[in-house]
Amino acid sequence: MSEQNPNQTITHILETFEAALKSGDTAAAVALFQPDGYWRDLVAFTWNIKTMEGREQIAAMLNSQLDSVKPSRLKIADNETATEADGVTQAWITFETGVARGTGFIRVKDGQIWTLLTTMTELKGHEEPKGFKRPMGAEHGARVDRTSWKENREAELETLGYEKQPYCLIVGGGQGGIALGARLRQLGVPAIIIDKNERPGDAWRARYKTLCLHDPVWYDHMPYLPFPDNWPVFSPKDKIGDWLEMYTKVMELNYWGATTCTSAKYDEAAGEWIVEVERGGEKLTLRPKQLVLATGMSGKPNLPKFKGMNVFKGEQHHSSKHPGPDAYKGKKVVVIGANNSAHDICGALWEAGVDVTMVQRSSTHIVKSNSLMDLALGDLYSERAVAAGMTTMKADLTFASIPYKILHEFQIPVYNAIRERDAEFYDRLEKRGFMLDFGDDDSGLFMKYLRRGSGYYIDVGASDLVADGKIKLKSGVDVVELKEHSVVLSDGSELEADLVVYATGYGSMNGWAADLISREVADKVGKVWGLGSNTTKDPGPWEGEQRNMWKPTQQHALWFHGGNLHQSRHYSQYLSLQLKARMEGIPTPVFGLQQVHHLS
Amino acid sequence: MSEQNPNQTITHILETFEAALKSGDTAAAVALFQPDGYWRDLVAFTWNIKTMEGREQIAAMLNSQLDSVKPSRLKIADNETATEADGVTQAWITFETGVARGTGFIRVKDGQIWTLLTTMTELKGHEEPKGFKRPMGAEHGARVDRTSWKENREAELETLGYEKQPYCLIVGGGQGGIALGARLRQLGVPAIIIDKNERPGDAWRARYKTLCLHDPVWYDHMPYLPFPDNWPVFSPKDKIGDWLEMYTKVMELNYWGATTCTSAKYDEAAGEWIVEVERGGEKLTLRPKQLVLATGMSGKPNLPKFKGMNVFKGEQHHSSKHPGPDAYKGKKVVVIGANNSAHDICGALWEAGVDVTMVQRSSTHIVKSNSLMDLALGDLYSERAVAAGMTTMKADLTFASIPYKILHEFQIPVYNAIRERDAEFYDRLEKRGFMLDFGDDDSGLFMKYLRRGSGYYIDVGASDLVADGKIKLKSGVDVVELKEHSVVLSDGSELEADLVVYATGYGSMNGWAADLISREVADKVGKVWGLGSNTTKDPGPWEGEQRNMWKPTQQHALWFHGGNLHQSRHYSQYLSLQLKARMEGIPTPVFGLQQVHHLS
């Protein structure tokens, strides 16, 4: 084969690929892939969030979808050039389908497609009104009885949910619900966000006082309105609360604070949900066509059941209810758990001069915040990445372009480097008896997060307190029982306690579905989150994508949204497009609706 | 002379220029300029906002400033290349002084400098904490008794103005005061903004309901946090109000709403102002070192004195107090004035079905909003400019680089084109009897704005109503007197009226200085705004810069800030640097402190 430059390599393969797709020649299309090639599609081809692994799965998808999708105009994206390194040629691509425009990323190895990412960017005819299409604002010309923006907005706030039903109801007004609400508004999808707290941002304000975001700012931008370049790297909780509050206002979201959902039931005949809510004491019924639970990864507290919890005379609460250290000076506090919340809470207690013991029942993956920033995120989400021309969109898509199946392979070297860089730090912790891990396969923090959403601590200082013995530690033990004033551990020791904090994590989001809808529906959709990696707390079989997140579920018109700020931002794009398509009556033939293998 | 490419031309002249400056050879430096060359400096060389016109003035400045400024490292800015067109070679440049870094723009004609713009970007050692320098936010590590961001902020809000005095007090919390406050906070200058209205943005909220910004969004961005790309082109007033409110919050400004300044007096001995304020009913004394009046170009209403105003039995108010049309349905309204406010108010009244007559006493310059957007602003402030790589900073600096003395020459062709494009529109207006102008020298809207801040209407629909006779018009007349229920005009006609609106403009901002400080100080600083162009309402002599704006005045430690959103944004940078330098004790030898030629 003659020598080609990277652009030619990519252009050639795209042309061949497009020709095969256009003629419906699945076999020819599939042959262009590596035998172990991957195609990850976000909505454009599959109307799903789906990774096809290997030629067989790719073929199955094309056979199902090709006729309806009508892909065309596959090419290297404007103003982009293909690059080559280490035998891999790659490029940003764009394409169209019958109803949409898309962006993607392709990696080619030995003349065959190794990974292909295709994502839906916008629906034709329903492009967001931005840039050249931004709304005029002022209505030029004159018209009798013209209403002002303010009047229109007030009318909307008065009627939506009353005379006029929202197309979409979002339960949960944290960053997930808010990001999705912003996208839906830009797409003209009437939506209401409801949250039990009064003001947007309250979920953050209510947390313990020293809490700051653990992810750095470049990772955390909301859609449309990034944090300014003087925003702190790790946002204090109240600053995030304020940002979310103002974002909700300027993005013109219909946000009902102090509102709880008491029940929801899908009316098959009417094709809508019947949702009972209480809004500031008033009961009303909403009838959205689509229901999104954006109640949060850290939404449903997981409370353990220990013997003697009813006997204990001191205070006990889940970490999510912990008010901070102020009331506990001079007291003894026992914290059950050794992951993120436990460390934050123990650290704050120690700073307030409280006698605190951390009880570690299983190992924790610890990464120093700086190391995570530099080594794990730095190429995509950092000031140096920005300075080198990385945009949030490209960072998100680059990350999305690595198939989950092999993502751990990319992560392992990063965490090896981290292990080396911070060897002394880890040593000190282990000497103290702290049980460390780096994930089941040493693939580190992000895999742990994707697989189980827990089991780690991004160290911002508490680990040194543990290593130095300032936060007392009991590790490799279980809780046997609580007595009136103490916690008895499996090594026979008994810890006096005035307060026990259960930093014991959170349950699967379908627990909310059980509470709000029914056990039956919760079981119908199954466990939320996790990949099926057959690692701790993420049992197989392999599912290849986050269970139930941002995509159709087994319950018609029920969706889950959320994740960290990056996922809330990025995946709100795809969920909003799926909802918009349905509202517009655009056919959305879903390929490979996920099967349910676990109930929680 | 040998053929040079543009980069070489610029580099060569900068090298020669720098060598002359470094050796203190004023004559050699000045000889590099065209005889009618211009040097506009924003702070960096002159610690002033100053245009030197011609070699003599440039020489005077250099002789005064060169020793203290110590300029160095003049070069084409990184990642920029010089360009050449129509005999003019130009480039973005950067440079340093002894205490600062700067940016600028140079135009060279026939081997000599035609225009030079030098601006101060930052003070060495006092760079803003952004980008790579952004604050960490989270304080990593652990410290006993650490306070949270929220606690720090609350402490600041409690003590600033009480136990601790602000370095700078800004009177006026519109976009000007807010933009300046944001810059000062980034520079670590403790500042309080006070405003008589309760919430930031209220000045906008209180205006008549259909009001939208007349300048398009790309022109209007606030510092640090631009409007998102789905923000409307012409922002409805309440949206701007909301944006200013959230901006004030997330930029962490110390904003005292419902606060009025009752008096201010400079204490020479103590080197500070004694400012009496009333904050929510409580009286207190503030002692800032610097006082900024940011009370607005449209701050001090100008009310005419007509015979019979005390006789008139109907309602009468200045346009700034006009509540909108709702209370006047079925009534007769007479609006005195034919500029921006008059047109907006008449238009809204007509839309509400009110019988309205506009009384035009002098000619008005009218430009259709679309034409202004396309032809006047489009190259710098538009979606197409953004798409072509224009940034707000470059747009601001490009505009700033054109000397006021010759700016009209650049504007005249633009307005000729507008006159042609909208010939039919202007024709219809003139047929109706409307008195049109294009500025004294046909240089159009922006010159009128710079010279007198008035005398124009950016048409968003009301002109068609005038042309069609829907808004009734009496033009070329004066008001003789008011009677009990009517307005008598100089052509003998008498207009019945239930309401008379005086759309009669605003007075010079030093009127505020008279009210708050003293007549003496107001006269000491003199008229605010205008260039001394010897055109209508802008009497000579030529001053070359906006009188008293954003720079030292004849009253020590008294400053004026404001202008439209572009100026509030751009010039807040230079004012904040001047204030920061003084706070840090950096010497600020001012060249060419403006002389006072007019009192108002």
- Closest CB to A142: pick one of B146, B212, B350: B350
Q: Report the mean per-residue pLDDT for chain A.
A: 95
> Cβ–Cβ of A149/B464 closer than 8 Å?
no
Main-chain dihedrals φ then ψ at residue A437, nearest 5 degrees: -140, 170
Which neighbouring-strand residues pair with B316?
A: B500
Query: CA-to-CA distance for A68 and B554, rounded, in angstroms?
Result: 75
- Closest CB to B148: pick one of A236, A347, A462: A236
**Which pTM value belongs to this model?**
0.91
Closest alpha carbon to A567 in A146, A174, A287: A174
A253/chain B closest Cα distance in angstroms: 13
SS3 content of chain A, % helix, strand, coil (to 5): 35, 25, 40
Answer whether the bond into residue B539 is a cis peptide, omega within 30°: no
B21, two tokens: 């400056």
**Residues A197 and A317 sit within 8 Å (Cβ to Cβ):** no
Q: How far is CA A367 from CA A208, A262, A416, A473, in A?
A: 22, 40, 11, 18
State the virtual CA torsion across A129, A134, A137, A142 in degrees, nearest 10. -90
**Residues A386 and A218 sit within 8 Å (Cβ to Cβ):** yes
Query: CA-to-CA distance for B107 and B89, rounded, in angstroms?
Result: 6
> Cβ–Cβ of A132/B461 closer than 8 Å?
no
Which neighbouring-strand residues pair with B62?
A: none
User: pLDDT, tens digit, for every residue of A195-234?
Assistant: 999 999 999 998 877 788 888 999 999 999 999 999 999 9
> Cβ–Cβ of A132/B353 closer than 8 Å?
no
Main-chain dihedrals φ then ψ at residue A558, nearest 5 degrees: -115, 130
B385/chain A closest Cα distance in angstroms: 11
Name B161's Cβ contacts closer than 8 Å, sequence gap at least 6: B192, B254, B256, B284, B286
Q: What pLDDT score does A397 carry?
A: 97
Mean pLDDT of A109-115: 97
- Closest CB to A236: pick one of B137, B140, B142: B137
Angle at B83 between CA B81 and CA B87, to 5 degrees: 155
**Residues A210 and B148 sit within 8 Å (Cβ to Cβ):** yes
CA B126 to chain centre: 25
A468/chain B closest Cα distance in angstroms: 12
- Give me the percent of chain A exceeding a pLDDT of 90: 90
Query: Which chain A residue has the Cα nearest residue B218?
Result: A131
- Looking at the predicted structure, is the pLDDT value of residue A577 above 90? yes
Query: CA-to-CA distance for A556 and A574, rounded, in angstroms?
Result: 17
Residues of A in contact with B137 (CB under 8 A): 212-213, 217, 231-236, 239
H helix and E strand count, chain A = 19, 26
Which neighbouring-strand residues pair with A119?
A: A42, A103
Query: CA-to-CA distance for A149 and A138, rounded, in angstroms?
Result: 9
Q: Which helix (H) or strand (E) holds B57?
A: helix B54-69
A129/chain B closest Cα distance in angstroms: 6
A464 touches chain B (CB under 8 A): yes
Q: What pLDDT score does B300 carry?
A: 81
Interface test with A, best of B143, B151, B250, B459 (most A CBs within 10 A): B250
B434/chain A closest Cα distance in angstroms: 18
DSSP per position, B229-247: TTS-SS-BHHHHHHHHHHH
Question: Which alpha helices (DSSP H) does A252-391 contain, by range?
Answer: 340-351, 369-371, 383-387
B386 touches chain A (CB under 8 A): yes
**Residues A402 and A115 sit within 8 Å (Cβ to Cβ):** yes
Binned at pLDDT 50, 70 and 90, residue A112 comes out as very high
Closest alpha carbon to A90 in A21, A20, A14, A17: A14
Query: CA-to-CA distance for B561 and B259, rounded, in angstroms?
Result: 19
The residue length of chain A stands at 600
Three-state DSSP string of B128-157: CCCHHHCCCCCCCCCCCCCCCHHHHHHHHH
Interface test with B, best of A230, A251, A422, A463 (most B CBs within 10 A): A230
B560, two tokens: 């004026």
User: pLDDT, tens digit, for every residue of A12-38?
Assistant: 999 999 999 999 999 999 999 999 999
Residues of A in contact with B151 (CB under 8 A): 209
Residues of B in contact with A200 (CB under 8 A): none
Answer whether the bond into residue B541 is a cis peptide, omega within 30°: yes
Query: CA-to-CA distance for A94 and A419, rounded, in angstroms?
Result: 39
State the virtual CA torsion across A50, A53, A55, A59 in degrees, nearest 10. -20
Three-state DSSP string of B549-574: ECCCCCCCCEEECCCCHHHHHHHHHH
**Residues B491 and B483 sit within 8 Å (Cβ to Cβ):** no
Residues of A in contact with B458 (CB under 8 A): none
> Cβ–Cβ of B234/A186 closer than 8 Å?
no
Query: CA-to-CA distance for A301 and A548, rounded, in angstroms?
Result: 19
Q: How far is CA B25 from CA A182, A446, B17, B44, B305, in A?
A: 60, 63, 10, 19, 58
B290, two tokens: 């610097």
Interface of A with B in 514-533 (CB under 8 A): none
Q: How far is CA B94 from CA A456, B11, B14, B130, B214, in A?
A: 47, 12, 10, 19, 34
Query: CA-to-CA distance for B316 and B319, rounded, in angstroms?
Result: 9
Give the residue ranges of chain B where pLDDT is below 70.
1-3, 139-143, 145, 299
B225 touches chain A (CB under 8 A): yes
Interface of A with B in 59-78 (CB under 8 A): none
- Closest CB to B140: pick one of A153, A239, A461: A461
Binned at pLDDT 50, 70 and 90, residue A395 comes out as very high
**Residues A468 and A476 sit within 8 Å (Cβ to Cβ):** no
User: pLDDT, tens digit, for every residue of A472-504?
Assistant: 999 999 999 999 999 999 999 999 999 999 999
The amino acid at B360: Q
Q: What pLDDT score does A140 carry?
A: 67
- Closest CB to B138: pick one of A141, A151, A234: A234
> Cβ–Cβ of B224/A228 closer than 8 Å?
yes
A162 touches chain B (CB under 8 A): no
B88, two tokens: 């003019």
Main-chain dihedrals φ then ψ at residue B390, nearest 5 degrees: -70, 135
> Cβ–Cβ of B138/A217 closer than 8 Å?
no
Asked whether the CA dihedral A148, A154, A157, A163 is positive or negative, the reply is negative
B462/chain A closest Cα distance in angstroms: 7
Residue B383 falls in which region: left (phi positive, over 0), alpha (psi -120 to 50) or beta: alpha
Q: What pLDDT score does A299 carry?
A: 66
Which SS3 state, helix, strand or coil, does residue A313 take?
coil
Report DSSP state, residue A156: H
Query: CA-to-CA distance for A322 and A520, rounded, in angstroms?
Result: 32
**Residues B456 and B448 sit within 8 Å (Cβ to Cβ):** yes
B31 touches chain A (CB under 8 A): no
User: By CB neighbour count within 10 A (0-12 exposed, 13-18 middle, 19+ buried), where does B1 fall?
Assistant: exposed
> Cβ–Cβ of A138/B236 closer than 8 Å?
yes
Residues of A in contact with B232 (CB under 8 A): 134-138
- Closest CB to A233: pick one of B137, B230, B470: B137
Which SS3 state, helix, strand or coil, does residue B581 take?
helix
> Cβ–Cβ of A461/B142 closer than 8 Å?
yes
Query: CA-to-CA distance for A508 and A510, rounded, in angstroms?
Result: 5
> Cβ–Cβ of B249/A242 closer than 8 Å?
yes
Binned at pLDDT 50, 70 and 90, residue A3 comes out as low
B368, two tokens: 């259709």
**Residues B264 and B517 sit within 8 Å (Cβ to Cβ):** yes
A250 touches chain B (CB under 8 A): yes
User: pLDDT, tens digit, for every residue of B367-413?
Assistant: 999 899 999 999 999 999 999 999 999 999 999 999 999 999 999 99
SS3 content of chain B, % helix, strand, coil (to 5): 35, 25, 40
A256, two tokens: 């009902």
> Cβ–Cβ of A209/B137 closer than 8 Å?
no
Query: Which chain B residue has the Cα nearest residue A149?
Result: B236
Q: How far is CA B361 from CA A21, B340, B436, B446, in A?
A: 72, 14, 12, 22
**Residues A217 and A231 sit within 8 Å (Cβ to Cβ):** yes
Q: How far is CA A592 from CA A31, A443, A523, A579, in A?
A: 21, 28, 19, 18
> Cβ–Cβ of A209/B387 closer than 8 Å?
no
Q: How many CB atoms lie within 10 A of CB A154?
A: 13
B379/chain A closest Cα distance in angstroms: 15
Query: CA-to-CA distance for A42 and A571, rounded, in angstroms?
Result: 9
State the virtual CA torsion across B440, B445, B449, B454 in degrees, nearest 10. 80
Placement of tokens 């140096």 in the chain? A384
